[in-house]
Structure 1
Amino acid sequence: MKRVRDHAAPRIVLVGATGALGATVLELIGELGVRYRDIQLVASPRSAGRAAPVGGRSQTVVSLDDADFADADLVLFCTGEAVSGRWAPAAAAAGALVVDSSGAFRTDPDTPLLVPPVNGHLMERYPGGIVAGAGGLTVPLVLLLHDIERRWGVRQVVLSSYQAASGRGHQGVEELLEGSELALRDPDAELPTDCFRPAQAFNVVPAVGSLLENGSSTEEQHLVQETRRILDLPHLNVAATCVRVPVVQGHSAAVYIEAGGPVVRRDLVELLASLPRVVVHDSEPPSGPPTPLTAGDPDLIHVGRIRVTPHNPRGFWLWLVFDNLRVAALNLLQIAQTAQARPPRARTRLGESAHR
């Protein structure tokens, strides 16, 4: 993490700094050497006063009620929809570029929904305000589909996800660990269900989010809507079943894709291996396909079990494993960096135009 005096570097406010995603964003800011003039760490009142490491020094976290957006150039919201929905417009009204991780603005047609390697060009004509980051499940999916669509076209996508407890932040992880410990001591114990209902420990729950009248979950609905919008394919046939599994961190997904024409497996492997942030696991056992425990580099999307269906050469299966927190955090920072790289006249107060 690099604190500099350069007026081209933004003044950052990180809201939700003590949560699982916010802490991951802080880690990446340090690892990537993101330049900034100042950074303010903000969290809920119960976390105010806590010390957090920033660039080799300790910094005090302030309450959201005491946050100062007036001098901010960039505000990153790593919070839930309720907090983002209330505070993000205030930060934008103060003149900052707001990048929000929640789903509060993803369906707003006037708010860009970005995965920069796919549709970052939209920032070139966006003057500022609020920008929405895609969900942690959507990001790896569209990164793969973008180049598959350009090569063969995509007619249909069917996805089944296996999502970790960290998707619900620190509280989700703590509840899974607590419930697992209780269940091991007493199989008949009443397990905690504050984050997951039914209990997540030693269980598989076939719905992530709330259930809708049509039987889909909110997570599945969001995945379909976000994928279509980011790829600019409003009629793409996408279906999903999102499942919560008793894994601490790291989402997995089985994805069936039907392309517009026949696909040769060798060409598919070559294309996937050429993509940035993608690693193909295509060796024979004992290494086998990637798993949340064995995949490796948490900043990469791990792809295995690549199978072209013998009865339909247009269809193929992929197995994906990725660190859901790192994927979402990196997408937020890439959005901020894309905004900072815009021509000066296209910016509001971010970067060079932040000089007063």
Structure 2
Amino acid sequence: MKTGGEPTLAVLGATGAVGSVLRGLLSERRDVWGEIRLLASPRSAGRKLPVRGEEVEVLALDEEALEGVDVALFHLPDDAAAQWAPVAAAKGAVVIDSSAVFRAEDDVPLVVPEINAHAARVRPRGIVASPDCTTLALIVAVGALHSAWGLESLVLSTYQAVSGSGREGVDTLRRQLAEVAGTDLGTKPGDVRRAVTGAGPYPAPIALNVVPFAGAGTTDGWTTDEMAVRAETRKILGMPQLPVSVTCVRVPVVTGHSVAVHARFENEVTVPQAHEILAAAPGVVLCDAPGEGEFPTPADAVGTDPTWAGRVRRALDDPQALEFFVCGDNLRKGAALNSVQIAELVASPG
């Protein structure tokens, strides 16, 4: 980081869905940046996009465009991040990367500012990783309860929106919904499968359906998404042996990931205490009055920054365990916001 003057920020992947959200956040939040460069593939170069009330021209991503950059926000596919993140770091930029490439690396910190902001200060390779959007839907609430009570184990079931698969996921859901609209489907075996013309990025139809398989398969039956949530949760909390079991499910929701959480702690827990902890936790909104119809849903969380938490119950057969439900906008905190928060940490003095 240069001394004196406002740092230069580069946004790589500025024209994508997350890039659009990120540009909005840069206009909404406290402005700590000098120049902001928007970088993308050569086919997007020359476009002008709004940032901080100005139209900024998109530059083609190349080595020259990275010269003089202090902080680089990477929202690129894995292969592009693997190619360009080391280049940006070698030129002196601190890279904040949202791909899966560096999250598991021992010499790359995996950071959620509400939980382990200190980790962003030690970056041997000049790279800081941001977790997957599913992990970010749950980790702030879980981390707050862990700080108070000491976590012993987690059992998680996710309900992941199609925007987590990018534009292809959203387009697939919309196309399939149009194909089944106005038809009497769902009463006979296989009728939904026959009605849609293609599954897109999913192994089964997503319209009028849930798909209990997110990510790619592994040899032992778990999916890559499930193993990622497990590994990332352990790394962020600094608990490499924490028992974590995850089932990842894709649901016909455009934006907003949800997670049903069973968390066991070192000592007995109570719902009133859990409410106090969650209500006071940075980045969490407590929404828990089911009798009045108040509980978190993706429709509540979409377009907002916090994790929404509710349906808090003590486990029926274990006084040391809680059941609760969380939702978060997978394009905001789940991607753009967390990386912006990390960038602001890196840019801040001290």
Q: TM-score by structure 2 length? A: 0.90
Residue among 286, 308, 328 paired with 1:280: 286
Quick one: which of 116, 139, 149 aligns to 2:113?
116
Distance 2:39 2:67 in 1: 14
Aligned counterpart for 1:47 among listed residues 20, 44, 49 = 44
Does residue 1:219 correspond to 2:225, yes or no?
yes
Deviation at 1:142, TM superposition (A): 2.5
Q: Which residue of 1 aligns with 2:332?
A: 326
Q: Helix, strand or coil: the match of 1:137? A: helix
Aligned to 1:234: 240
CA distance in 2, matches of 1:270, 1:69: 46
Deviates more, 1:224-233 or 1:188-197: 188-197
SS of aligned partner of 2:105: coil
Could you tell me how far 1:182 is from its partner in structure 2? Answer: 2.2
Corresponding residue for residue 130 of structure 1: 127
Instruction: Confirm or deny that 1:30 pairs with 2:27.
Output: yes
Change (3 A) 1:329 1:83: same
1:266 equivalent in structure 2 = 272
- Equivalent in the alignment of 2:201: 195
The 5 Å alignment of 1:38-117 reads 38-65=35-62, 68-117=65-114
- State the alpha-carbon separation in 2 of the partners of residues 182 and 69 from structure 1: 45
* 1:166 positional shift: 1.0
**How has the CA–CA distance of structure 1 residues 37 and 7 changed in structure 2, closer, same or farther, with 3 Å as cutoff?**
farther
Any conservation in 1 of the 2:112–2:338 contact (CA below 8 Å)?
yes
Residue 210 of structure 1 corresponds to which residue in structure 2?
216
Q: C-alpha separation between the residues in 1 aligned to 2:90 and 2:54?
A: 31
Q: Distance in 2 between matches of 1:293 and 1:125?
A: 37
Structure 1 residues 200, 323: CA separation in 2 closer, same or farther (over 3 Å shift)? Answer: same
**Is 2:138 the partner of 1:141?**
yes
Q: Distance in 1 between matches of 2:209 and 2:46?
A: 37
Deviations, residues 70-107 of structure 1 (Å, cap 9, x unaligned): 11111110112111011111111111110000111011
Deviation at 1:139, TM superposition (A): 2.3
Q: State the partner residue of 1:346.
A: none
Counterpart amino acid of 2:247? Answer: T
2:295 pairs with 1:298: no
Residues 140 and 342 (structure 1 numbering): CA distance in 2 closer, same or farther, change over 3 Å? farther
For residues 176 and 45 of structure 1, do their structure 2 counterparts lie closer, same or farther at Cα, with a shift above 3 Å needed?
Answer: farther
Q: Counterpart amino acid of 1:161?
A: T
**Counterpart position of 2:189:** none
SS at match of 1:294: helix
Cα pair 2:216 2:224 within 8 Å, conserved? yes
**Cα drift, residue 247 of structure 1:** 0.4
Write the mapping of 1:5-20 to structure 2, written as runs, cut at 5 A.
7-20=4-17
Query: 2 CA distance for matches of 1:301 and 1:131?
Result: 22
CA contact (8 A) 1:206 1:244 kept: yes
Structure 2 distance, partners of 1:132, 1:41, is 20
Query: Aligned-pair distance for 1:309?
Result: 1.6
Which segment drifts farther, 219-228 or 142-151? 142-151
In the other structure, the counterpart of 2:187 is: none
Q: State the Cα deviation string for residues 258-288 of structure 1 (Å, max 9, x = none).
A: 1111111111111111111211112243433
Q: Give distance in 1, aligned partners of 2:301 and 2:142.
A: 21
Identity over the aligned pairs, expressed in percent? 38
Choose which of 337, 341, 347 in structure 2 pairs with 1:340. 347
Higher alpha-carbon deviation: 178-187 or 236-245: 178-187
Q: Give the match for residue 354 of structure 1.
A: none
Structure 1 residues 302-341: Cα deviation after superposition (integer angstroms, max 9, x where no partner): 1111010232111110100111111121110111111122
* Paired residues of 1:252 and 1:292 also in contact (CA < 8 A): yes
Q: CA deviation at 1:222?
A: 0.7
In the superposition, relative to structure 1, how do residues 326 and 77 fare at CA in structure 2: closer, same or farther (>3 Å)?
A: same
| 3-state SS of paired residue (1:209) | coil
Number of residue pairs matched by the alignment: 338
User: Structure 1, residues 8-50: CA drift from partner, whole Å, max 9, x if none?
Assistant: 3211111111111111111111111333221111122333333
1:184 is the counterpart of 2:190 = no
The aligned residue for residue 188 of structure 2 is none
Structure-2 separation of matches of 1:34 and 1:14 = 15
Which range moves more in the overlay, 259-268 or 156-165?
259-268
- Residue 131 of structure 1 aligns to a residue whose secondary structure is strand
1:348 alignment counterpart: none
Alignment TM-score, normalising by the size of structure 1: 0.89
8 Å contact kept, 2:301–2:329: no
Distance 1:43 1:72, change over 3 A: same
The reply on whether 1:312 has 2:281 as its aligned counterpart is: no
Amino acid at match of 2:265: A
- Note the residue ranges of structure 2 that are not aligned, 5 or more in a row: 184-191
Backbone CA RMSD of aligned residues: 2.0
Deviation at 1:184, TM superposition (A): 2.0
